[in-house]
Amino acid sequence: MKLFVIAGEPSGDKLGAALMAGLKTLSPEVEFIGIGGPLMEAQGLESLFPMEELSIMGLWEVLPRYRALKARIRETAETIARVQPAALITIDSPDFCLRVSGLARATRPALRTIHYVAPSVWAWRPKRAEKMARHIDHVLALLPFEPPYMEAAGMTCDFVGHPVVAEHRATEAEAAAFRETHMIAPDQPLALCLPGSRKGEVKRLAGRFDEALMQLRDREPGLRVVVPTVRGVAPMVRAMTARWPVAPIVVEEAADKAAAFKAADIALAASGTVSLELAANRTPMVIAYDMAPISRMIIAQMLKIDTVTLVNLVSETRAIPEYIGTGCQPSAISKALLALLEDPAIRAAQFAAMETTMERLGEGGEAPGLRAARSVLAHL
């Protein structure tokens, strides 16, 4: 059985790799073609082109790349028509993936289509589910409250759990070894700085995150900072952070990142899946995010929820402070980080929200990648 799989960003690469591993376990003869990153490539995918070409977020940010993206959409759809897969599995990145699905189905109406990650219609643009249903048969949902939204739009949908619950977490010994390697004392405060996995995010947020951490360092002179990053933006991150007044530790390898997450006392992170990674490691956090002014204005008018942090949404709390849009200011962020370091009650509320979140996302059950693979095979 031949499957065409597409992921457009690092979080999708993780999902795709776990799904591919699950499919190989349940159906060893399966073959994969498509687009993905290093983790999917490690599972046997030869990517048509670098996944990083698709890692763009925001309405305004897409415009300069429109022609190139349109060409890649056409190229991908033509490849699907040529290789005739048993199914097309698209992972997140709906602006790219759903256009590819539409073109592929126009050429081959009987092509089975599966999309991994339900659109957040509960947050904004509720009509997206109906538009998606024109090109998608089946959805794999990460959050337990999403299937009814997809089914109402005419697609089948399974909640398969969130992959964060099955990701490797460093041990206490590995965390201690990380601190020792980087000469960070056991009682020395350590902060993670996570300004995003897309170039646009890093460019927009890194300076503000650095300023917030510099202000925090005025109150906590011994503070050390680690910046975990991904392949697509690692050169930019290293170049930018080299100019910071106090250079942080930049880590790219998976083992180093896992150890840093475990070793850290607090984290400052861009909004997104990373909040769940921090929750899985029980790392207290502050979330901040901003985008281009035009994108910010349009999206603000569409939002239906009062928080964009997944830990808050899944746990049904508002334990994680967030500074979004015009609120993404270093002074406010640094105050929240300081409170997180100094106030045990604030940390305790976050820990409780993290426990609830992980339980609801499937921690302790069958690995989500395997659950997703069972759902795919049952649908086919």
Predicted local confidence at residue 237, as pLDDT: 94
Predicted local confidence at residue 110, as pLDDT: 95
Predicted local confidence at residue 285, as pLDDT: 98
The pTM score is 0.79
Task: Give the CA count within 13 Å in the CB-facing half-sphere of 164.
Answer: 23
**Architecture (CATH level 2) of domain 2-161+364-379:** 3-Layer(aba) Sandwich (3.40)
Predicted local confidence at residue 171, as pLDDT: 96
Predicted local confidence at residue 64, as pLDDT: 64
Task: Specify the length of the chain in residues.
Answer: 380
Please state the domain extents for the chain: 2-161+364-379, 172-360
145, 161, 146, 227: which is closest to 192 by C-alpha?
Answer: 227
Coil/strand/helix, residue 34: strand
Q: Output the tens digit of pLDDT for each of the chain's 380 residues.
A: 999 999 998 889 989 999 999 999 999 999 999 999 999 999 999 899 999 888 655 444 556 677 888 899 999 999 999 999 999 999 998 889 999 999 999 999 999 999 999 988 877 778 889 999 999 999 999 999 999 999 999 999 999 999 899 888 999 999 999 999 999 999 999 999 999 988 889 999 999 999 999 999 999 999 999 999 988 899 999 999 998 988 899 999 999 999 999 999 999 999 988 999 999 999 999 999 998 888 788 777 777 788 989 999 999 999 999 999 999 999 999 999 999 999 999 999 999 999 999 999 999 999 999 999 999 999 99
Rg (CA), the chain: 21
CATH class of 172-360: alpha beta
Predicted local confidence at residue 292, as pLDDT: 82
- Gap between the Cα atoms of 233 and 125, Å rounded: 29
Task: Give the CA count within 13 Å in the CB-facing half-sphere of 367.
Answer: 16
- Gap between the Cα atoms of 112 and 204, Å rounded: 39
Per residue in 85-116, pLDDT (tens digit) is 999 999 998 889 999 999 999 999 999 999 99
Contact 294, 59 (CB under 8 A): yes
Predicted local confidence at residue 39, as pLDDT: 94
**Token pair 């046997």: residue:** 44
Predicted local confidence at residue 36, as pLDDT: 96
